[in-house]
C-alpha cells in the first residue's frame, strides 16, 4: 500500500514504518540519524513489537497491560 510523506506528501513506495521520504528525513534528522532511525524501526517492526516498544518507553509494561485491559 502506498504511503505519503508527512512533510512533502511525496509517495513512499517501500515498506518503511516511517511516513517520511528520504529527502525530508535527511533534512529533518540528518543523513546518519535518519538511516539509524530507519534501521532501528525496521528491526522493531520485524520483531512485531514496534507498538509495545514505543509505548513502554513512557510507561512501565505492567501499568500498560492493566490500562489496556480496563479499556476493553
The contact set with Zn ion (CB under 5 A) reads: 5, 7-8, 10, 21, 24
What's the min distance (Å) between Cβ of 7 and Zn ion? 4
* Of 63, 11, 17, the residue nearest 2 (C-alpha): 11
Cβ proximity to Zn ion, 7 vs 56, nearer residue: 7
Rounded Cα distance between 21 and 8, Å, is 8
Per 3-state DSSP, the chain is made up of helix, strand and coil in percentages (nearest 5) of: 60, 5, 35
What's the min distance (Å) between Cβ of 38 and Zn ion? 14
Cβ proximity to Zn ion, 11 vs 71, nearer residue: 11
Amino acid at each position: 500500500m502506498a504511503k505519503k510523506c508527512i512533510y512533502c506528501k511525496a509517495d513512499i513506495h517501500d515498506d518503511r514504518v516511517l511516513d517520511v521520504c528520504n529527502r525530508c528525513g535527511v533534512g529533518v534528522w540528518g543523513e546518519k540519524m535518519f538511516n539509524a532511525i530507519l534501521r532501528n524501526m525496521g528491526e522493531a517492526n520485524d520483531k512485531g513489537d514496534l507498538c509495545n516498544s514505543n509505548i513502554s518507553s513512557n510507561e512501565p509494561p505492567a501499568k500498560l497491560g492493566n490500562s489496556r485491559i480496563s479499556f476493553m
